[in-house]
Amino acid sequence: MRFIFKTSYAQDLRLFRDDFQRNWYLLLLVGLLALPSVVPDYLIDISLVFIYGLCGLSLMVLAGYTGLVSLGHAAFLGIGAYAHVFLYQDLGLPWLLAMVLAAAITAGVGIVVGLPALRMTGIYLTIATLAFALIIQEVLTHWEFVTNGLKGKAVNKPDIFGLTIDSDLGFYFLCLIFLAGGLWLTRNLLRMPTGRAWVAIRDSEIAAQSMGVNLALYKTMAFAYSAALMGIAGALFAHQIRFLAPDIFTVLLSIQFLLMVVVGGLGSLHGAIFGAIFVAMLPVMISEARDAVPLWFGAAFSLFGKDAGDAVFLAVDRFVKQPGLEPGIFGLILVLFILFEPLGIYGRWMKIKTYFSLFPLYKRATFKRQKSYMKSERLR
């Protein structure tokens, strides 16, 4: 196992753990730059993964690092998307300015939502953000001057300083730049005092407060930063789907974002990206499985005769083609992850890595969760 013996605080604060790690990330970046020449057909889908990555990043800062769980992030995405499209198309502002303003507007809304949140903890905050998201969805439906209501709004191609991005390739790189920038910014924030204050608030509000962390300030900052990231993601999202309608930004989308951070692994930036890849790929995998699974069952049961195989094929086919199946699978995955791998994909990855680096000496108990009696939050 590579163990780094730290001799100064500066080492603790470095962007990458060591040169070895930095080189791996450089390699990843080169790989992503080269990816379009390998899979030229799926670029628009991969850019959705990047946008989801930004969303995951945003929610990770709030839920994973500051401990404020929001069920209203789809609303921030919607505000960002509509604000950007309104400023860019209806008011004719330059693309980049429109995006910056959209991020600022979303951050402003984030602060407004965050302010009452200072008085709430835990579940109350989740409920409040949920209510906020439902209200925003109604606003998006009825404020027709900006949003064009239920009729929807078509989105033009981005035009940056006279350079029109009309190919999937260009959009891929645009999203990649924003995701890489967002990751870099977030990583830097997290190793600054700001990030440390956020983590302190997550771990214990009371302890953080007694160490001199200004709870109100840092919680509001977390909300504003998270909302701003979501606003940028929303602007890109608008260009990715090319048509905005209020019923895109539902509670279900918020739940998908939460699914992303939980499945990816709470409290790690890797987790946000893993989760984004997972959530973006899941519908594709489900639709592939819908075609494949009946064939497998049919093949397996045709050992008992052709009629049995055909009958089973038809039954399974009918079962998996039912429309309500997909959200159920989402729910099932969520439940399984919470029960069996609360640290998510990243946690599993860490466990596997630790297993190999400690090879014969790995103990399961290393990552065992402590069980405790229920601690009441209603102490009087």
Partner 1 sequence: MLNGLAVGCIYGLVALGFVLIYKATELVNFAQGDLMMLGAFVCYMFVVWYDISYWAAFALAIAIVSLFGALLDAAILRRVIGQPQFAVVMLTIGLGAMFRSFASMAWGSEIYTLPTPFSAQQTMLGAVSVSHEYVSIIVGTVVLCGALYAFFTHTKMGVAMQAASQNQLAAYYMGIPVKLVFSLIWAISAGVATIAGVLLAPVSLIDVNLGFIGLKAFAAAVLGGFGSIPGALAGGLTIGLIELFAGAYLPQGFKDVAAYVVLLLVLAVRPQGMFGAIGRKKV
Q: Which stretch binds partner 1 (CB under 8 A): 76-84, 135-143, 268-276, 308-316?
A: 135-143
Q: How far apart are CB 121 and partner 1 at their closest, in Å? A: 7
Q: How far apart are CB 211 and partner 1 at their closest, in Å? A: 13
- Of 92, 162, 324, 360, the one binding partner 1 (CB under 8 A) is 324
Q: How far apart are CB 12 and partner 1 at their closest, in Å? A: 27
Pick between residue 67 and residue 158 the one whose CB is nearest to partner 1.
67
83 by Cβ neighbours in 10 Å (0-12 / 13-18 / 19+) ranks as buried
Helix or strand run (H / E) with residue 160: strand 159-160
Identity at 7, one-letter amino acid code: T
**CA gap 134, 316 in Å, rounded:** 37
**CA gap 107, 222 in Å, rounded:** 10
- Of 17, 142, 353, 363, the one binding partner 1 (CB under 8 A) is 142
Contact 253, 137 (CB under 8 A): no
**CA gap 329, 350 in Å, rounded:** 26
Does 314 participate in binding partner 1 (rule CB under 8 A)? no
Does 357 participate in binding partner 1 (rule CB under 8 A)? no
Does 358 participate in binding partner 1 (rule CB under 8 A)? no
CA atoms within 13 A on the CB side of 370: 3
Q: How far apart are CB 154 and partner 1 at their closest, in Å? A: 24
Q: How many residues bind partner 1 (CB under 8 A)?
A: 59
Q: Enter the tokens of residue 190.
A: 């997290």
Helix or strand run (H / E) with residue 111: helix 95-117
Specify the 3-state DSSP secondary structure of 371: coil
Does 346 participate in binding partner 1 (rule CB under 8 A)? no
Pick between residue 181 and residue 283 the one whose CB is nearest to partner 1.
283
DSSP-derived letter for residue 343 is: T
Measure Cα distances from 182 to 53, 214, 322 in Å: 9, 25, 39
Does 151 participate in binding partner 1 (rule CB under 8 A)? no
Q: Enter the tokens of residue 154.
A: 């078509």
Pick between residue 333 and residue 350 the one whose CB is nearest to partner 1.
333
Residue 23: CB atoms within 10 A of its CB come to 11
Q: Enter the tokens of residue 189.
A: 């924030």
Residue 150: CB atoms within 10 A of its CB come to 12
The two beta strands, 159-160 and 163-164, are antiparallel
Pick between residue 283 and residue 331 the one whose CB is nearest to partner 1.
331
Q: Which stretch binds partner 1 (CB under 8 A): 20-28, 227-235, 253-261, 297-305?
A: 253-261
Does 167 participate in binding partner 1 (rule CB under 8 A)? no
Among residues 12, 17, 113, 22, the alpha carbon closest in space to that of 68 is found at 113
Does 178 participate in binding partner 1 (rule CB under 8 A)? no
- Of 59, 99, 255, 280, the one binding partner 1 (CB under 8 A) is 255
Q: How far apart are CB 349 and partner 1 at their closest, in Å? A: 20
Contact 75, 133 (CB under 8 A): yes
Residue 243 pairs with which residues in a beta bridge?
Answer: 154
Does 338 participate in binding partner 1 (rule CB under 8 A)? yes
Q: Which stretch binds partner 1 (CB under 8 A): 175-183, 237-245, 250-258, 302-310?
A: 250-258
- Of 13, 29, 97, 131, the one binding partner 1 (CB under 8 A) is 131
Each residue 196-235 as x (binds partner 1 by CB under 8 A) or -, in order, gives ---------xx-----------------------------
Q: Enter the tokens of residue 178.
A: 């924003």
Contact 222, 133 (CB under 8 A): no
Does 339 participate in binding partner 1 (rule CB under 8 A)? yes
Q: How far apart are CB 30 and partner 1 at their closest, in Å? A: 36
Residues that bind partner 1 (CB under 8 A): 63, 69, 71, 115-116, 119-124, 126-128, 130-132, 134-135, 138, 141-142, 205-206, 251, 255, 258-259, 262, 266, 319, 322-335, 338-339, 342, 369, 371-380
